[in-house]
């Protein structure tokens, strides 16, 4: 009988013990692999979403909070920046495009984001070395240009209290992200009323009934989780008017902007714009990609501890492999004696037992990687539902290295029982 067939036969003779021992290895490997795969896939997914723009401008405060609120539609706004900041940036040399953002309303827990229509022409979704513009699965974008926004701001400056708000009925149009359309069942031609607030909102804007005119194709980014309205709608709906305690141009001014998305020329211009904005007292600039790197750098510390714990689980499982095989040595002495009598060398017996341990560990590792893949797929769905970031886990070199390391460690663990078999004296047993 050939050597590999002999190894497989010996494992099949103890099906329950082999299965339970392999399962312990697979659980340890699965947990260890899933921790690394989830972190890597999450970082790639969040960085891809952060690349929707080069720079974000918002109120003074936390750069991470600004990035999460403006791009990922998570958390609370830390305040508004004056419209004048956006007007100045539009004319700043080195700014290729800019999109003002207003956040504060929602519909069925999906955030409503006010933007100008150039958002749909300028924003690009990056995937590896490729980038593609936003595409529509149904309908088209609404029409509300930066020029229309500037005219509205001028009209609001001259607006007298008690007079009708300056707006057009055609502004009340909406574009849905792919996830919003799927969850709400809405499509082109449907109407809805925005609700005030982003969490637990219940008060509807009766004067804000909007018609869906477009549905975006899936992007795998938080764009899918938002509803987009012309930013001018935020300024003319009831409940968004400034009050006496809201200083014009201050962080609580409802006529300000939640954030400004910028795409700038790389190098000197980008650095100069970043420094100029941060020198202001009423605004700050952040690089979303840098904020995401800093976030995952902090999370890596927790991953490090978790990886050590899962590594210990793998070690315990490999010790279990060694103990399981060692406990069979007494019953297998007759088998080894017969093999020796038939001409098998001591090193053949040594290799046989060592290979059994290695194969058992390798099979457990393969099942563990499959278990990790299923776990990552399950968690990826939850991550995408909560953040809009699509994770794309895949088998990488790290997983293959882990499998090789577990197999080698299993072979080393098998040396203890293998040495016991190596010392078998055929003459004494027979």
Q: Which of 232, 252, 286 is the last residue of a domain?
A: 286
Say if residue 28 is in the same domain as residue 119.
no
Cβ atoms of 376 and 418 closer than 8 Å: no
Which H or E run contains 262? Answer: strand 259-264
Domain shared by 281 and 299, yes or no: no
Say whether both 39 and 61 belong to one domain.
no
- Indicate whether 50 belongs to any domain: no
Q: pLDDT grade, residue 285 (50/70/90)?
A: very high
DSSP letter assigned to residue 72: S
Cβ-contact 382, 427 below 8 angstroms: no
Q: Given pLDDT bands bounded at 50, 70 and 90, which one contains residue 176?
A: very high
User: What would you report as the CA-atom Rg of the chain, rounded to the nearest whole angstrom?
Assistant: 31
Which are the contacts of 226, defined by CB distance < 8 A and separation ≥ 6? 73, 110, 111, 112, 113, 177, 180, 388
SS3 assignment, position 215: strand
- The conformation of residue 321, written as its DSSP 8-state character, comes to H
Q: Verify that 225 and 337 share a domain, yes or no.
A: no
The pLDDT score that the predictor gives to residue 180 is 92
pLDDT band, very low/low/confident/very high, at 246 (cuts 50, 70, 90):
low
Indicate the residue among 286, 311, 337 that finishes a domain: 286
Whether 228 and 377 map to the same domain: the answer is no
> Which run of H or of E encompasses 341?
helix 333-341
- Computed over every residue of the chain, the mean pLDDT equals 79
Res. 195 pLDDT band, cuts 50 70 90: confident
214-243 exposure pattern, b = at least 16 Cβ within 10 A, e = fewer: bbbebbbbbbbbbbbbbbbbbbbbeebeee
Domain boundary among 286, 320, 347: 286
- CA distances to 57, 330, 426 from 345, rounded to whole Å, are 75, 19, 11
- Percent of the chain past pLDDT 90, that is, above it, reads 26
249 and 169 both lie in a single domain: yes
**Predicted local confidence at residue 26, as pLDDT:** 82
Count of domains observed in the chain: 2
Please check whether residues 309 and 403 belong to one and the same domain.
yes
Whether 332 and 198 share a structural domain: no
Evaluate whether residue 385 is within a structural domain.
yes
Name every residue whose Cβ is closer than 8 Å to that of residue 132 and which is 6 or more positions away in sequence. 124, 125
DSSP letter, residue 418: H
| pLDDT grade for 429, boundaries at 50, 70 and 90 | very low
Torsion of CA 302, 307, 312, 315, to 10 degrees: 180
Strand partners, 106: 111, 195
Examine the domain organization and report whether 21 and 130 are in the same domain.
no
Q: In angstroms, what CA-CA distances link 5 with 124, 222, 245, 324?
A: 56, 53, 84, 20
Element spanning 125, H or E: strand 124-127
Distance CA 311, CA 53 (A): 39
pLDDT greater than 70 at residue 158: yes
Question: Which has the minimum average pLDDT: 145-149, 181-185, 198-202, 415-419?
Answer: 198-202
358 vs 2: which has the higher pLDDT: 358
Tokens of 223: 């764009």
Whether residue 424 is contained in a domain is answered as yes
Nearest to 398 by CA among 76, 140, 41, 119: 41
CA 280 – CA 369 distance, rounded (Å): 51
Same domain, 82 and 198: yes
Joined tokens for residue 147: 């020029």
**Residues 106, 252 share a domain:** yes
Read off φ and ψ for residue 199, nearest 5 degrees.
-135, 125
Same domain for 374 and 356? yes
For residue 426, what pLDDT band results from cuts at 50, 70 and 90? very low
Q: Could you report how far apart the first and last alpha carbons of the chain are, in Å?
A: 21
> 244 is written with which tokens?
């006496």
Query: For 44-91, how does the pLDDT look when each residue is reduced to its tens digit (9 = 90+)?
Result: 777 777 888 999 999 998 899 999 888 888 888 888 899 999 999 999
Segment 353-378 shows an average pLDDT of 80
CB atoms within 10 A of CB 383: 18
- pTM for this one? 0.75
**Domain extent for 419:** 3-45+295-429
**Does residue 101 lie within any of the structural domains?**
yes
Query: Can you tell me the mean pLDDT for 253-267?
Result: 87
> Which of 94-108, 309-323, 394-408 has maximum average pLDDT?
94-108
For a pLDDT cut of 70, what percent of the chain falls above it?
Answer: 73
Structure-token pair, residue 128: 């590896």
**Which residue did the predictor score with more confidence, 414 or 334?**
414
């Amino acid at each position: 009988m050939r050597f590999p067939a002999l190894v497989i036969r010996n494992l099949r003779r103890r099906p329950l013990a082999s299965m339970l021992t392999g399962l312990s290895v697979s659980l340890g490997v699965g947990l260890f692999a899933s921790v690394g795969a989830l972190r890597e896939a999450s970082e790639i997914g969040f960085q891809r979403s952060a690349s929707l723009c080069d720079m974000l401008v918002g109120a003074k405060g936390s750069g991470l909070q600004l990035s999460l609120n403006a791009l990922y539609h998570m958390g609370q706004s830390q305040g508004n920046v004056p419209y004048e900041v956006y007007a100045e940036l539009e004319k700043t040399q080195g700014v290729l495009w800019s999109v003002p953002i207003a956040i504060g309303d929602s519909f069925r827990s999906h955030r409503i984001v006010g933007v100008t229509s150039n958002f749909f022409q300028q924003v690009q979704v990056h995937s590896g070395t490729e980038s593609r513009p936003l595409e529509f699965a149904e309908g088209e974008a609404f029409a509300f240009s930066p020029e229309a926004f500037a005219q509205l701001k001028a009209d609001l400056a001259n607006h007298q209290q008690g007079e009708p708000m300056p707006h057009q009925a055609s502004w009340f149009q909406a574009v849905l992200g792919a996830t919003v359309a799927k969850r709400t069942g809405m499509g082109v031609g449907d109407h809805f009323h925005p609700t005030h607030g982003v969490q637990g909102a219940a008060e509807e804007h009766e004067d804000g009934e909007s018609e869906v005119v477009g549905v975006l194709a899936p992007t795998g980014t938080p764009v899918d989780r938002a509803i987009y309205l012309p930013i001018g709608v935020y300024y003319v709906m009831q409940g968004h008017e400034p009050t006496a305690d809201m200083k014009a141009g201050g962080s609580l001014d409802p006529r300000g902007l939640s954030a400004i998305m910028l795409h700038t020329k790389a190098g000197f211009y980008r650095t100069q714009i970043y420094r100029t904005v941060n020198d202001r007292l009423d605004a700050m600039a952040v690089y979303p990609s840098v904020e995401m790197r800093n976030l995952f750098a902090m999370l890596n510390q927790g991953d490090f501890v978790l990886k050590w714990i899962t590594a210990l689980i793998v070690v315990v499982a490999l010790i279990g492999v060694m103990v399981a095989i060692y406990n069979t040595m007494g019953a297998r002495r007759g088998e080894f004696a017969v093999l020796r009598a038939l001409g098998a060398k001591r090193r053949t017996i040594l290799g046989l037992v060592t290979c059994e341990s290695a194969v058992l560990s390798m099979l457990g590792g393969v099942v563990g990687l499959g278990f990790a893949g299923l776990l990552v797929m399950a968690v990826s769905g939850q991550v995408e539902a909560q953040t809009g970031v699509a994770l794309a886990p895949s088998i990488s070199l790290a997983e293959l290295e882990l499998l090789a390391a577990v197999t080698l460690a299993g072979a080393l663990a098998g040396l203890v029982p293998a040495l016991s078999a190596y010392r078998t004296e055929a003459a004494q047993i027979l």
